[in-house]
Amino acid sequence: MTLNFDNKKIRLFFVSVMIVALYAVFSMTANQGHAQISPLLNDAGATTIALSVQQTSLNLDLDIVTAESEQIRHKVALQRFYEARDNQPYWINDSGVHSRAEAMYKIIDEAWTHGLNPHDYHYVDIYNLLEKNDRQSLADLELLLSDAFVRYAIDLSGKRLEPSALGLEMEGWKVPLNAPDVTHILLAHDFDAALDMVQPKGQTYRALRRELIRLVNQGPGEKEYLLPIEFTGILRPGSGHKAIPKIREYLGLEALKYNNTTYDDNLAAAVIRFQKENGLEADGVIGSNTLEVINRTNMRKIEQVIVNMERLRWVDTNRGDKFVIVNIPSATLWAIEGGRVAFEMPVIVGNPVRQTNLFNAKINGVRLNPDWTVPPTIKKFDILPKLQEDPGYVDDKGMELIQGYGADAVTLDPHSIDWKNISVRDLHSIRMVQVPGDHNPLGRYRVLMPNRHNIYLHDTNHKELFSRSERALSSGCVRMQNPRQMIDFLLKDADNMWDGDAVDSTLATYKKTDIDLNRTVPVSLLYYTTWLDDNGDIVYGNDIYGRDQKLLHLLRNIDGVFIPVHNERYTGARSDAHFSYNQ
* Residues annotated as catalytic (active site), given as ranges: 458, 477
Cβ atoms within 10 Å of 441's Cβ, excluding its own: 19
Count CA atoms closer than 13 A to 390's CA, side-chain side. Answer: 7
* Residues 443 and 432 sit within 8 Å (Cβ to Cβ): no
Which residue, 142, 14, 4, 163, is CA-closest to 76?
Answer: 14
Least Cα distance to 21 among 74, 67, 81 occurs for 81
Torsion over CA: 484, 488, 494, 499 (sign): positive
Which residues, listed in sequence order, are joined to residue 513 by a DSSP beta bridge? 368
Bridge-based pairing state of the strands 513-526 and 322-327 = parallel
On whether the CB atoms of residues 347 and 333 are closer than 8 A, the answer is yes
Residue among 73, 54, 44 at smallest CA distance from 10: 54
Residue ranges with strand state E in 306-440: 322-327, 332-337, 340-350, 359-368, 372-373, 399-403, 410-412, 430-434
Q: Does an H or E element contain 425, and which?
A: helix 424-429
Please tell me the distance from the alpha carbon of residue 424 to that of residue 427, in angstroms, as a whole number.
5
> What's the rounded Cα separation, in Å, for the pair 502 and 510?
13
* Residue of 15, 125, 151 whose CA lies nearest to 70: 125
* Cα dihedral value 437, 441, 446, 447, nearest 10: 180
